[in-house]
Chains A and B, each alone.
Chain A
Amino acid sequence: MPELIEESMVVLDLAADDKDAAVRVLAERLAAAGRVTDVEQFLADVRAREQVMATGLEGGIGIPHARSIAVTAASLAFGRSPARVDFGASDGPADLIFLIAAPAEGGAEHMTILASLARRLVHGSFRESLRSLSGAAEVAALINREVGA
């Protein structure tokens, strides 16, 4: 199984008007890395999940996500948006955006690594590190290290 995130799946200056545009930018990075086979299918699945309930969380976090048949392996695309994008959190728009892609038929190891990622997202220190790191490679390395730990 490939690592959760690669350098190419990190966008440090994500510019997008709304969450659909932000998710599309990140989804295309996943497609370019071979993690998503059909961007439109995947985007439709993410939108369906967003419609059930907004995925924005307090503290500037957006975690759009879906299980989709267009996903080949558990993957994360990470975007940092200084201009912020609204994901429906009660305290305002998000500057840290985590697009989580889970394979529809994913085995336990895929789901376990995503569960581990979700648990890390709760921690303030993890969020602060993601805000302060300056390079995409460092961000990817930090996430993979934290999730593997």
Chain B
Amino acid sequence: MRIVAVTSCPTGIAHTYMAAEALEEAARAAGDTIEVETQGAAGMTKLAADTIAAADVVVLAADVEVRERERFSGKPTVEVAVSTAINSAAAVLEEARSKMASSVPAEPAPRSATPPVTPLAAAGFGSRLRQWLMTGVSYMIPFVAAGGILIAVSFIIAGPQVAMAVNGGVFHGVHYPGATSITAIYHTAGIGGVLFEIGGIAFSMLVPILAGFIAYGMADRQGLVPGVIGGLIAVDVHAGFLGGIIAGLLAGAVVRLILKVPVPRVISGMMPIVVVPLISATVVGVLMLLVIGNPVSFVMTEITNWLNGLSGANAIGLGALLGLMMAFDMGGPVNKVAYTFAVAGLASGGIGGQKVMAAVMAAGMVPPLALALATVLRRGLFSDAERKAGEAAWLLGASFITEGAIPFAAADPLRVIPSIMAGSAVTGALSMAFAASSPAPHGGIWVVGLLGHWPLWILSIAAGTVVGSACVIALKSLRRSVPAPAPVVSLQEVANA
């Protein structure tokens, strides 16, 4: 049995190390291999990612929170009090052994889903990729929740015109000058405007935090600088959260490459503080600005032109298409193209623009709602973090904050994005078919009183939410239930090991 363990106690000077020693002794006696990370006051030598990946089971002997425990997600894990590990380390290892045996069938799903050429390596990379993404997502979720709820509350307090009151613009024929500076917002737009601004600032950090902590998951602290910088550039080049994922993965990979280069001792002390941040930020920044930025803005321009040419087409088809776009990247460039198209239509006046606006708003509300519903209907398909994000997603979705779906999409894009696209397409098409109309560019359920045909508009949202939710559940269940023969293979591997 290959074990990785973390020991940790309140003061970090005694029990942490006693537990480590006790576990190591017990493992030696039982013929197991173990590596212990002591999260104590004597500094901590972190377990290598490869070691964790190769481990059969994780033992957490801790009386305080284990730092960076997401590294171990997906592994069979035994958690005990630190004194239990000291007093009865052998029993703890026995528990780990039975935990390992009983949870063998849980993990190999991705393994059998891939062709049997190099199944082990493929599964290893797939699950590591998922862990990197989850690391980024778990740090991003609090920003989504804080920012999204602040924006929703600002709409409740100050009404649908709050965005215009802060940023300036025309709403309902009224011209808002906007706040002249960030300190003038309270006088211009009141407390609602202040909350809107704070929420917007929290949202502006989503992509940098996502990118930074994806890189952190791959390359540890060293990844943070190029990841955050890459994420900020992704925002600036309008590459949205998909650009952020690319930036994070790029940053992590670059840092890992740099760390592979052998350096003389004199330089090695400067590596983490000067050399690695400088080189990695330069490489990631140049790639994001010069290589990735242009294609993305090109694609955006193309999409805008294409969409404008399409506006005369069948209204229901247009609604479905806008729905697909709203859900495709949840606040990213494609979503923004569809949204901008609707707002532009609204500004041009006439009921046609208002219908498009209603369809786009409804479609943008569906992704978080569909995922929130899915977490309620089938809790077992989602991680703890996702279920928490699901609770927030109700309010975010109701407030037309499509970004509420990002945590789910970033963790499992291939299943989540097609599902919510389907749901939003249904909603967009229905809203157009019902001829619902919205004079408000934002606000979700809070501006429902302003809408034309609003009961049917809500019906269209409900329909899309159910469709999207059903798709997510179906796709995720498919993954879990496919690999029936896999446990047999895995048990044999364990026996041979």
Which residues of chain A have a CB within 8 Å of any CB of chain B?
Answer: 49, 52-53, 55, 57-59, 63, 65-67, 90, 100, 102, 106, 108, 111-112, 114-116, 118-123
Residues in B whose Cβ lies below 8 Å from that of A121: 14, 18
Residues of chain B within 8 A (CB-CB) of A58 are 86-88
Q: Smallest distance from the beta carbon of B153 to chain A beta carbons, Å? A: 38
Tell which of B38-46, B48-56, B282-290, B322-330 binds the partner: B38-46
Closest partner residue, chain A, to B82 (CB atom): A53
**Which of B18, B25, B40 touches A111 (beta carbons < 8 Å)?**
B40
Set A66, A112, A122: member contacting B22, Cβ < 8 A: A122
In the docked arrangement, what's the CA distance between A122 and B42, Å?
18
Cβ of B21 under 8 Å from chain A: yes
Assembly CA distance A58 to B20 (angstroms)? 16
The answer to whether the Cβ of B442 comes within 8 Å of any Cβ in the partner chain is: no
> A100-B13, A122-B18, A122-B25 are known contacts. Are A115 and B38 too (CB-CB below 8 A)?
yes
Out of B14, B41, B88, which one reaches A55, CB within 8 Å?
B14
A57 to B11 CA separation, bound complex (whole angstroms):
16
B469 at the interface (CB under 8 A from A): no
Considering only CB atoms and an 8 Å cut-off, how many residues of chain B contact the other chain? 22
Known interface pairs A108-B42, A111-B41; A118-B15 also in contact (CB < 8 Å)? yes
Residues of B within 8 A of A57 (CB): 18, 83, 86-87
Determine whether the beta carbon of B10 is less than 8 Å from that of A108.
no
Assess the A115–B22 pair: CB atoms within 8 A: no
Can you list 24 A-B pairs with a CB-CB distance of less than 8 A?
Answer: A49-B11, A53-B63, A55-B14, A57-B18, A59-B87, A63-B14, A63-B18, A65-B11, A65-B14, A66-B11, A67-B41, A102-B11, A108-B42, A111-B13, A111-B42, A115-B40, A118-B14, A118-B16, A119-B20, A119-B21, A122-B18, A122-B21, A122-B25, A123-B25
Nearest CB of A to B68, in Å: 20
Query: In the assembled complex, which residues on chain A have CB atoms less than 8 Å from the CB atom of B11?
Result: 49, 65-67, 102
Docked complex Cα distance between A58 and B90 (Å): 14
Chain B residue nearest in CB terms to A53: B63
Interface centre among B22, B40, B41, B88, by most chain A C-beta atoms within 10 angstroms, is: B41
CA A59 to CA B40, docked complex, whole Å: 24
B14 near A114 with CB under 8 A, answer: yes
A115/B17 in contact, CB under 8 A: yes
